[in-house]
Amino acid sequence: MADSTAIITGGSRGLGLALARSLVVDGWHVVIDARTSGELDQARHELDQLGSVKAVVGDVTDPGHRRALVAAAVAAGGGVDLLVHNASHLGPSPQPRLAHYPLAAFSRVYEVNVIAPLALTQEALPVLRSGGCILAISSDAGVEAYEGWGGYGSSKAALEHLFAVLAAEHPQLRVHRVDPGDMNTRMHQEAFPGEDVSDRPPPEDSVPGLRSLVDGGLPSGRYQARAVAAP
């Protein structure tokens, strides 16, 4: 897969950065993004030492930013082989019950977690190579009804169904919805304020499963990253 090209949203830290490291080391051209330049510059500097990376600062809900991501990927590798929808918005924390969920915050969760991935996919489809792969990073909250998780959880459920339909409409692509499992990340800490989440596995533990999906021949579907990790 050397010389292949990937776009990874939310690639400045956590799972996105861990996957970017893995791909860059293997010769991929990788385009990452983040909303702020500080962490993105740090990630770009680190990845620059390993291989080919482009960093584009911006918000995935911005059409101009989405166009810039795809343009950067085409400039790097002539097309797109992998599109990873990793950027997510948790919403208010602690997570409010639906009866009191601020609707403006609810709308923002859906803009980032559902509408932006579809919009970026629409932007990338004309240059997404046949046999290419899309990873929609989901959560167990997208299939389980956890009290207090109606906003984030329902957005991930919507994301999952959206990309299940996309898989049916584009059989030439591999479209995977992936639950990476609990991870020791900033978002996980924000979801449980005041708790110690340091006992959760690092995001790097979920990368082998993601690579199995990217590099392997599994059909489009929903997977748990640690269950499909190659030995």
Two tokens, residue 175: 């479209």
Catalytic, 110? Answer no
Is 155 within 8 Å of 114 (Cβ atoms)?
Answer: yes
DSSP string, 71-126: HHHHHHHSSEEEEEE------SSSPPPGGG--HHHHHHHHIIIIIHHHHHHHHHGG
Residues 6+ apart with CB under 8 A from 33: 8, 9, 10, 11, 12, 40, 55, 56, 57, 58, 60, 65, 69, 87
Residue 25, number of CB atoms within 10 A of its CB: 11
**The one catalytic residue among 101, 110, 146, 152:** 152
Amino acid at 2: A
**Count of other CB atoms within 10 angstroms of residue 129:** 16
Could you tell me the CA-to-CA distances from 170 to 80, 130, 136, 175, 210 in Å, in that order?
15, 10, 15, 8, 20
The CA-based angle 127-130-136, given to 5 degrees, is 75
3-state secondary structure of 14: helix
Rg of the chain on CA atoms, in Å:
17
- The catalytic site residues sit at 152
